Amino acid sequence: MCGIFGFVDRAGVFDQGALEKMSQLLLHRGPDDFGFFVDQKNGIYFGHRRLSIVDLSSAGHQPMANEDGTIQIIFNGEIFNFKEIREELIARGHAFSSRTDTEVIIHAYEEYGMGCLQKFNGMFAFAIYDKRKQEIVLVRDRIGIKPLYYQQRDNIFSWASEVTAFRALGKLQINPTAISELLGFQYLPSNERTTIKDVFKLPPGHFLIYNMESKTISIAQYWKLKLDNNISGLAFSSAKEGLEKLLIDSIKLRLEADVDVGVMLSGGLDSSVIAAIAQKNSSKRVRTYTAGFDEKKDERPFAKIVANYIGAQYEEVMIVPGQIVTDIEKLITHFDDLNTFDGGLLVNYLIADKMHERGIKVILLGEGADEIFGGYSWFGLSKLPFNALPTYLKKYLYYYSTSRNLSFAAFRHFQEINKMFSGLDKKNIRNTFDLISNYEITCQLPNNYLMKVDKGTMAQSVEARVPYLDYRVVEFAYSLKTDYKLKGLCQNFKKTNEKYILREIARNYLPDEIVTRKKRGGMISIAAEMKSNISKVKYYLLDKKSLGVEFFGKKKMEKLFANDGKDLGGSNWNFVEVEKEMFLWKLFILEVWRQNYFKL
């Protein structure tokens, strides 16, 4: 896991000094080593920050080149099946000088061209300079686990793992249209737009080619989520056996590292299954880390049960109420381009901080299981009584469930998500469950939860791995019969009928009290956080130059504080109060970001 960055500047506006500034801005992503490749004549500037995970020797130094120097690469992430590809390439006459997956990418690109991407199983973002073709190639993994941004401005083409690196090349400016969209959701759902003008995300499952002669960009998709009829037709016993084998293999691959590996354990089903399978396939006790909150949603008791049951080490990381709001100015920079408002990013940051102190460099998380197995309550829109509703209304209910937005241009923002639903490949969608799952995998995950995971953990130089998002697991789960994932004809708000096949697998590894637990939403209480320092929240939001005042006016902003925040954290069934709480949090985070991020 690393940080990559670079630019093409044939006009000579910038030099290696700009590359060095980019390197410093991404220091947290790779404190172990750094390197540059500069071809001043052609205006090529490549930079890399290394977090050493596999082959800790100097042989893993980047940028890395092929034998004749015609290909240069900078790589962030892991190719988990690189050993298998390496053997294949050796059989075809390629020679290797390291044990790294980076070198495998170079030789695979030489051998197969862009077809090499079909062979990689991993989480990755990389840039290649192909001297013969005079092209820069940018690639992002299928699911979008690793972020990759690019910018083309004033005839300079640049790219980086985080937007903050672009500060070295000029002032960053807010994109007001994207900010409005961000407030209408809880994240920016676009696979391309960002909150920063002229900065774009490379979509998941895509590669970009920048032609240095014509200065043109072309983007192509190399992976799409598809149904496999052979998997769709499996009997439940065969489906369960096939899925369990894939999960075991995915977890075993992600345990491989030349450094210590831990598991982030919540006590919920998803992370507990990972911890249990990891422990069963490890020669030593797996180290687990659990966040504690001292409130009703605190899951430490369940995490302890799991750790004791499977024989893993257990450690708690306490999140003190008010800690996040108190330190928010320091923490806000880790939101980078503010693609998500999810406070879980900060929880990941605080847990990763403790892990970093203890020498853990790699962590396994349960991210992705809810999206592929139907773990969220809104998947119930595919069951009675909701499935009797018109499709348009079900889509609107999905929008509200995920945004908690009723009054801020709600219909306009719903139309945005409806367009995205309409853009999904209908040939690979059988029903409402598939529609939601497809959107969650291809749009919500890469722009919300995976951003939270990457930026929260990498801020502490810790690599996060997500076994459920092995593309083989995703494709297999997506193709399964819906009833294997959300069982029964009706949505059940009390008993567990969600993630049915995963629960059945879990019975082989975990006690019943964990297997049958209903999902608990959320990690930190944003209401408790804001109430702990309501004066700070008011200070930011009532500032006459705040975006909240600019968008809504001072009177409306003052109305949000009518009870001085005492009514925050009420019933989840009070839709007006839930919306108010989420809206306050979004505006608060946005304003802290606006006032602090751009000062760096």
Distance CA 217, CA 210 (A): 5
pLDDT over threshold 90, residue 535: yes
- The reported pLDDT for the residue numbered 307 is 98
Q: Among 135-144, 175-184, 492-501, which is the least confidently predicted range?
A: 492-501
Are 195 and 239 in the same domain? Answer: no
The backbone torsions φ and ψ at residue 486, rounded to the nearest 5 degrees and listed phi first, read -120, 100
Domain co-membership, 510 together with 563: no
Does some domain include residue 9? Answer: yes
Residue 433 lies in a domain: no
What is the rounded distance in angstroms from the CA atom of residue 533 to the CA atom of residue 412? 33
Asked, for residue 240, whether it belongs to a domain, the answer is yes
Based on the domain organization, do 375 and 272 belong to the same domain?
Answer: yes
Whole-angstrom CA distances from 61 to 32, 243, 562 are 10, 37, 57
Structural domain includes residue 540:
yes
Yes or no: say if 368 and 445 are a contact pair by the CB < 8 Å rule.
yes
State yes or no: pLDDT of 157 exceeds 80.
Answer: yes
Q: How many residues does the chain have?
A: 600
Strand order of the sheet with strand 149-153?
A: 33-39, 44-50, 2-8, 156-160, 149-153, 199-201
Residue 61 CB: number of other CB atoms within 10 A?
Answer: 16
Neighbours of 536 (CB within 10 A): 17
pLDDT at 309 over 70: yes
> CATH number of the domain that 459 lies in?
3.40.50.620
217 and 191 co-located in one domain = yes
Q: What is the pLDDT of residues 394-407, one digit of tens each?
A: 999 999 999 988 87
Which residues make beta-bridge pairs with 316?
Answer: 290
User: What span, in angstroms and rounded, lies between the C-alpha atoms of 50 and 1?
Assistant: 7
**Of 481, 515, 549, which closes a domain?**
515
For residue 394, tell me if it sits in a domain. Answer: no
CATH number of domain containing 119: 3.60.20.10
Q: What single letter denotes the amino acid at residue 24?
A: Q
Higher pLDDT, 76 or 154: 76
Query: Residue 382's pLDDT is what?
Result: 95
Q: Which of 164, 196, 221 corresponds to the end of one domain?
A: 221
Query: What gap in Å lies between CA 172 and CA 192, rounded to an integer?
Result: 17
Using the predicted structure, report yes or no on whether residue 128 has a pLDDT greater than 70. Answer: yes
Give residue 571's pLDDT: 56
- In 3D, which of 486, 488, 490, 489 has the Cα closest to residue 519? 486
Nearest to 159 by CA among 197, 120, 125: 125
Q: Do residues 250 and 269 share a domain?
A: yes
Residues 158/7, Cβ–Cβ less than 8 Å:
yes
DSSP strand pairing (44-50 vs 261-264)? unpaired
The domain in which residue 534 lies consists of 526-599
Residues 476 and 535 in one domain: no
User: Torsions phi, psi of 218, nearest 5?
Assistant: -130, 140
User: Hey, how many other C-beta atoms are within 10 angstroms of the C-beta on 364?
Assistant: 27
Structural domain includes residue 15 = yes
d(CA 290, CA 264): 6
Question: What's the pLDDT band for 53 if we cut at 50, 70, 90?
Answer: confident
If you average pLDDT over every residue of the chain, what do you get? 93
Residue 410 lies in a domain: no
Report the candidate in 58, 59, 39, 37 with the shortest Cα–Cα distance to residue 48.
37
Mark whether 234 and 120 lie in a shared domain.
no
- The secondary element (H helix, E strand) that includes residue 77 is strand 71-79
Same domain, 536 and 472: no
Among 485, 515, 545, the domain-final residue is: 515
Distance CA 264, CA 362 (A): 10
Q: What is the largest CA-CA distance in the chain?
A: 73
The pLDDT value given to residue 569: 64
Rounded Cα gap, residues 161 and 446, in angstroms: 14
Percent of the chain past pLDDT 70, that is, above it, reads 97
Distance CA 47, CA 369 (A): 34
Q: In what helix (H) or strand (E) does residue 75 lie, and over which residues does it extend?
A: strand 71-79
Kindly state whether residues 281 and 181 are assigned to the same domain.
no
Tens-digit pLDDT profile for residues 462-489: 999 999 999 999 999 999 999 999 998 8
- 506 with 580, same domain: the answer is no
Helices 410-422 and 391-403, axial angle in degrees (round to 10): 120
State whether 559 and 531 are in the same domain. Answer: yes
Helices (H), 96-142: 101-112
Q: Is residue 412 part of a domain?
A: no
Task: Give the pLDDT confidence score for residue 492 in this predicted structure.
Answer: 72
Residues 7-37 pLDDT 10s: 999 988 999 999 999 999 999 999 999 999 9
Give the count of domains, the chain.
Answer: 3
Q: What mean pLDDT is predicted for residues 220-232?
A: 98
Looking at the fold, whether 166 and 264 belong to one and the same domain comes out as no
Q: Give backbone dihedrals phi and psi of 74, rounded to 5 degrees, phi first.
A: -125, 135
**Residues 356-395: tens digit of each pLDDT:** 999 999 999 999 999 999 999 999 999 999 989 999 999 9
Q: What percent of the chain has pLDDT over 90?
A: 79
pLDDT at 232 over 60: yes
Contacts of 113 (CB under 8 A, 6+ apart): none
Report pLDDT for 520. 73
Helix 176-184 and helix 410-422, axial crossing angle in degrees, nearest 10:
90
Tell me what pLDDT residue 321 has: 79
How far is residue 576's CA from residue 311's CA, in Å, rounded to a whole number?
Answer: 45
* Lowest-confidence region among 141-145, 196-200, 316-320: 316-320
Contact 234, 169 (CB under 8 A): no
Residues 6+ apart with CB under 8 A from 433: 374, 379, 382, 482, 485, 486
Q: How far apart are CA 319 and CA 333, in angstroms?
A: 19
Short-list 117, 143, 160, 185, CA closest to 446: 143
In this predicted structure, the answer to whether residue 264 has a pLDDT above a threshold of 70 is yes
